[in-house]
Structure 1
């Protein structure tokens, strides 16, 4: 299967890494989060693996967002540990354009990193441009649409059936809601995040047709990436939903989701948040954990590891590769035990989706 202008140097923040680098320092950050992704630079700088040299360019929010970017980092860590890889990380800045993103990818490729991975759909045009300049380097974009920009034999989009995973946490939200009012907070109203919304709403309605859905995006500009790094905005949105009676709120807003966690803690027992991309119960602060019902999982870590391993095997992945429920590329978390009593129902819905008995919409 196929895996189906000048730039200021300061805009290209590169950090060498080559090991997993865990930390026991779990002190709470100022935003109420817990930093479980402490810097591994000292360990990584001394690594000298003989495997692939991975260059990873993060999305806005960067490593430490406890969600999208951290899931990507976990895949890099696994490649380091199991494939003897080394790596280099590049951080994104605010209000960037395609020129800046292309230069970041180009810098990694020029330094000899192969593969080069862009984390987030915003890298798609840049990756299509730079892949053409470096035909001997393999490129991948997480959640990308590069193949629709300019297909290339050395470029692959690693995507996920976010609607399917969101459907399952929508069912969980409906079954656990006491008020029958449920919220969704999205970062930007582009096609990707609309897919999360569509699946979530469908799941809620499948389990509880009478439920009221409250939907809010942190911006109306699909290209405003800053919306994924706006915890105060998400907190305000969540507070408004809670005031209207919502007792379960799901976010697909990257680092902004940390504001949702703050809001449910302030609201008190009986109000739940649902995380996204990674198991956010595991990275939340101790006071937040009792109110994180579940998380919708996107196995970005698996996608990055599989892509790197395939490249090592000479499979020359290109085109698109979509992960879904059938290959456990998406799913839900059970940390905290809050949905243990309904996992049977969730798994039944999952099987119906896999069997084609339920077709989950991809747009509202």
Structure 2
């Protein structure tokens, strides 16, 4: 009788997860429901949503790859519409029996800390955040050297611009977005010195990761003021930036994923930050029984988790070749892209 009750309770919990449409829950079913060999992993998005065309979507692709490539893997996501959803969704993920619960984005750092403390037997992981020496034993941080691909696209932008003026649109100011901004600006200045001319960078923030209309408005203003290339690191806001580039017949530079599909004739390239690679790898580590908690994984060019796409139809082949040479110098340590204002200023002095 106890087994029957337990089975009914498990079914009810799974039904709640599948049926709670307001949270945007999604599972992929391999027909193994109830199998004790299942290893369940869930992710909770930030307010950008799972279809942000950016790092939430890339993270979900990583979980789907994990399920596809590991027998017994079972994945799902819960979508946060607002910050107050974080704690609720993290609790739902635990109630559903997930072994690893991912929080996507640095904005979830506090919610992950509280959830981890309340559920010491559950492994948590977070994209784009490191707790350093204070990392809880059941929490894993995942960081990226986003300044590396940002430097590369800045270099390519400077080599491509006809007006000598390019732009950067950030989402919300933070240490994470600083990597993109200052890496990009440094790449522009590095190429500017090679070319022997001044190239300026217009920087603006949208104070959002989801307001595409605001991204479009900012980019339109940049294009009308002389920028002919705008790079965004702004999640869903960047969709508006790319739309503005398409309408103005200028270039946008995508982020996180290869975003050329959003405007095939108007995306110069993209600064790849493959959250999918990290999410899949760390989830697999946990599934195989390796200890993942209490530390931070960092992914960069050397781990093949950042870079630019191999196909960039709108980029001059000579510019692509030069950009690949810059990539080699970054890998070799000859060029060390800055990741914040201080390291950027130091970079300029050198």
Residue number among 118, 130, 136 corresponding to 2:115 in the alignment: 130
Matched, 1:17 2:27: yes
Cα distance, 1:53 vs. partner? 0.5
Matched, 1:328 2:315: no
Alpha-carbon distance in 2 for matches of 1:77, 1:207: 39
Residue number among 290, 293, 299 corresponding to 1:315 in the alignment: 290
Query: Where does residue 87 of structure 1 map in the other structure?
Result: 75
Q: How does 1:211-290 map to 2 (within 5 A)?
A: 211-219=199-207, 227-268=208-249, 271-282=250-261, 284=262, 288-290=263-265
Query: Where does residue 141 of structure 1 map in the other structure?
Result: 126
Query: Where does residue 174 of structure 1 map in the other structure?
Result: 158
Alignment CA distance shift 1:151-1:232 (3 Å): same
Matched, 1:155 2:131: no
Cα distance, 1:203 vs. partner? 0.4
Matched, 1:299 2:274: yes
Return structure 1 stretches of 4+ with deviation > 6 angstroms. 9-12
Residue number among 101, 115, 123 corresponding to 2:86 in the alignment: 101
Cα distance, 1:351 vs. partner? 1.6
Q: Secondary structure at the match of 2:209?
A: helix
Query: Where does residue 10 of structure 2 map in the other structure?
Result: none
1:85-137 superposed Cα distances (whole Å, 9 cap, x missing partner): 1122111113x24xx42232122112211110001111111111111222222
Alpha-carbon distance in 2 for matches of 1:147, 1:14: 32
Query: Where does residue 195 of structure 1 map in the other structure?
Result: 179
Cα distance, 1:352 vs. partner? 1.3
CA contact (8 A) 1:127 1:146 kept: no
Matched, 1:343 2:320: yes
CA contact (8 A) 1:168 1:350 kept: yes
Q: TM-score normalized by structure 1?
A: 0.82
Q: TM-score normalized by structure 2?
A: 0.85
Of 130-139 and 180-189, deviating more is: 130-139
Q: Secondary structure at the match of 1:104?
A: helix
Q: Secondary structure at the match of 2:227?
A: coil
User: Which of the pair has more CA radius of gyration?
Assistant: 2
| Structure 1 residues without counterparts, runs of 5 or longer | 1-8, 19-43, 220-226
Query: Where does residue 58 of structure 2 map in the other structure?
Result: 71
Cα distance, 1:45 vs. partner? 8.0
1:282-326 superposed Cα distances (whole Å, 9 cap, x missing partner): 3x1xxx210101111011001011011111221111210110111
Query: Where does residue 32 of structure 1 map in the other structure?
Result: none
**Superposition RMSD on alpha carbons, in Å?**
1.9
Of 354-363 and 251-260, deviating more is: 354-363
Residue number among 336, 340, 346 corresponding to 1:359 in the alignment: 336
Cα distance, 1:335 vs. partner? 3.5
Alpha-carbon distance in 1 for matches of 2:167, 2:307: 20
Alpha-carbon distance in 2 for matches of 1:47, 1:231: 39
Alignment CA distance shift 1:259-1:47 (3 Å): farther
Cα distance, 1:336 vs. partner? 4.3
